[in-house]
């Protein structure tokens, strides 16, 4: 197992041909599915950051394979339903977020990182997410200052996902946001509520509007 992981990780480097990088990603994905617990404890920290970096690879096929692999790895770890594995995964992802003053130089794969953090947060219970919030928010706040619109969009959606679990408990923790950032988050929380209400009306057989899905109707530019 360890040797296979090591060889695969080595082939993720830029020196390898694109098809080789794709195959290495496939091998890592299959290893995680075959031995999820072993992968979580022995390989996740080594492999996931490298896999995420490839999501902005110059070869579109490698980039797509990277996103599929990262999604598969996270899904596999979450399927274990193990708090330690989930916390370890969160630590790995949070470490990819920019630190204070680094938002301008954030990596190209940052939107993917934030999206996976959002996915992980949605898998947590209320108490677990409350405990994780102090670890997650500083990097999200810094990412919110990114000059890249896709990064800011991903942060908004992540904060909305967190709010849907934590509700008003989250508000005091959002104090570092600027007025415009807070307003934007509030808008998308309202849209999420409208979407949920519309879905309930649909299930109940009532007349509906087009509100459902508005939370993903994102402006081309989100201004921090």
Whether residue 82 contacts residue 133, with contact meaning beta carbons closer than 8 Å, is answered with no
Alpha-carbon distance of 195 to 189, in angstroms, equals: 10
Closest to 75 in 3D by CA, of 34, 131, 19, 32: 32
What is residue 1's DSSP assignment? Answer: -
> What's the pLDDT at 210?
41
Tokens 């896999």 found at: 51
All residue ranges of the chain with pLDDT < 50 are 207-224
Task: Say what the pTM is.
Answer: 0.84
Tokens 């849209």 found at: 191
Whether residue 132 contacts residue 88, with contact meaning beta carbons closer than 8 Å, is answered with no
Q: What is the dihedral of CA 101, 106, 111, 112, to 10 degrees?
A: -120
> What's the pLDDT at 204?
60
> What's the pLDDT at 52?
95
Angle between helix 83-94 and helix 44-53 axes, rounded to 10 deg? 40
What is residue 26's DSSP assignment? Answer: H
> What's the pLDDT at 54?
94
């Amino acid at each position: 197992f360890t040797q296979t992981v090591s060889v695969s990780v080595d082939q993720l480097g830029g020196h390898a041909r694109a098809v080789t990088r794709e195959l290495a990603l496939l091998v890592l994905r299959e290893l995680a599915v075959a031995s999820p617990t072993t992968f979580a404890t022995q390989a996740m920290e080594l492999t996931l950051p490298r896999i995420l970096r490839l999501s902005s690879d110059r070869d579109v096929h490698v980039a797509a394979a990277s996103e599929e692999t990262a999604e598969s790895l996270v899904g596999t770890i979450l399927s274990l339903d193990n708090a330690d594995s989930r916390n370890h995964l969160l630590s790995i992802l949070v470490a990819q977020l920019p630190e204070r003053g680094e938002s301008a130089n954030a990596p190209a794969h940052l939107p993917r990182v934030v999206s996976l953090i959002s996915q992980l947060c949605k898998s947590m219970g209320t108490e677990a997410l409350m405990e994780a919030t102090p670890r997650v928010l500083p990097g999200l706040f810094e990412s919110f200052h990114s000059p890249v619109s896709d990064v800011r969009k991903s942060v908004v959606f992540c904060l909305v996902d967190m709010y849907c679990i934590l509700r008003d408990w989250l508000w005091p923790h959002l104090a570092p946001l600027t007025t415009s950032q807070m307003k934007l988050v509030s808008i998308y929380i309202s849209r999420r509520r409208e979407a949920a209400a519309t879905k309930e009306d649909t299930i109940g057989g009532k007349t509906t509007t087009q509100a459902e899905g508005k939370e993903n109707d994102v402006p081309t530019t989100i201004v921090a």
